[in-house]
Structure 1
Amino acid sequence: MLILLFAVALGSWHAAAAEYDDCDANFIAFVGASAYQFSPYAPGPLGTVRLYSVLSYQRAAALGERGDVRWKLEIRSPQGSIVREAEGAGRLEESGQVLAEFLWDGKDQQGRIVPEGIYTYTFRAYFLADSHGKRFEKLEELASAPMVEEAMASTDEVVVNYTLPDTVAQQIRVSALATNCEVQQNVPLEAGFPYNFYYGSTHSHSNFSDGGQPTTNCSSGNAYGSGTFNPAAVFDFARYSAGLDYWVVNEHNHLINDSV
């Protein structure tokens, strides 16, 4: 009886440890780039663009599955034809993520500079769990295997612009770097849980319209421009007093012109 109870308890523990969010549990290829436009004629790193994909499979990580991942990148012209392809491989381990990346220099498969225009890029990825006991050396073999799992592919755009000034190109890189998040950057609040909670608001107003009122003077309606606090003061309050992670100030646009 004790052995049976122990087995049931152990099974329950494993079930709890394997919990995951179904909304994000599938094999997914999230894509990104170091810049949304670039010129292959630009000097140094500005003449290339880094295309990458975070291959995420949280269900496999939660269930303790490990395995091989192979990926393929397709870059298509404005007319839809493939101009460049690249392949790679990786291992899906306990993090449930594999980073795929390719540095594109604006050349096609034959080494020729491509014309200006909007190009699309797509990462396709395939996962084969070690539990199947099989290994495939070629992507084509893995992709056609009956037990393989294909990622939900994502597509994005990158612009080839030969008139892009170097100063603007550099600013684009800095802006993109500030908003890129390829891997989790903060320690989870709860050990073993691969997500964090961030606290804030996506709806508030400052004295640029009808907000920015002291809490003692807050009511359901205030005259526009009558508030005490501008957007900078609102952000300071959110960051230093309220202890929030983010805060969005969005004004009533029909009030802005007359409020300041």
Structure 2
Amino acid sequence: MSNKTISVIISTYNAESWLEKVLWGYNAQTFKGFEMVIADDGSGPATKVLLERIQKEVFYPIVHVWQEDDGFQKSRILNKAIEKCSADYIVMSDGDCIPRNDFLAVHNRYREKGYFLSGGYFMLPMSISEKISAEDIETGRCFDVKWLKEHGLKSSFKNNKLTSGGFKAAFLNAITPTGATWNGHNASGWKGDIVAVNGFDERMQYGGQDRELGERLMNYGIKGKQIRYSAICVHLDHARGYKTPESIAKNQAIRQHTRNSKSVWTSFGIKKEK
């Protein structure tokens, strides 16, 4: 058995330069007791080459879970990654979200039986996304509003996500009108709870498969806890070629059924019904 108390699942698909920045972000974490599980939805060989190189440069172990490219099948690869997690607590994020150095410490501090944690992200424009270097991540500069503004960031209430600490972050978490949902870019929960509802529904492609998992967790009796102003990651910009009206409509119908039927189990998850 592993001595790691958190398994981090990062999803990726043919985005090596973004994934590398993200992995440097995890190398800067103050919380060290984790393993990294890469949920790779069919990337070409360049991702494997990157992971083999990075593994020699970071302190944490990396498990690479890969499947053949079959279009956007994120739900399927996430279920395979969940099965590979050796810790009893799972933090999920994406290969385009760089975590601040206290990201895992916050998830670790707030985790609680009977709950999942709902974090947010801070969206960066492409111009800044491309500029961020390994050193900017290591020093934490890329989370500093002053540095970001020097590189073109506009003023916005959302900048509070980066400047809030302690009491202010807790206050904003409490008053935010956004519900505590399972967000694929920044959420965490107990592996036992995720397995109990059978993981992600593999019929779902782009759009809301993370929320649907959260809705089944809530039907199962797990409550969401809001940490969007405390657990911070910056989201690197990219195109979304896999977003189609058909996939969104299909997923909305599945979510509607989950809510209406109060279902806790999907027959299209980790365990397949014969």
Q: Is TM (by shorter chain) over 0.5?
A: no
Structure that is richer in helix per residue:
2
Range class of TM-score, shorter chain: under 0.3
Which structure has the larger Rg? 1
TM-score normalised by the chain length of structure 2: 0.23
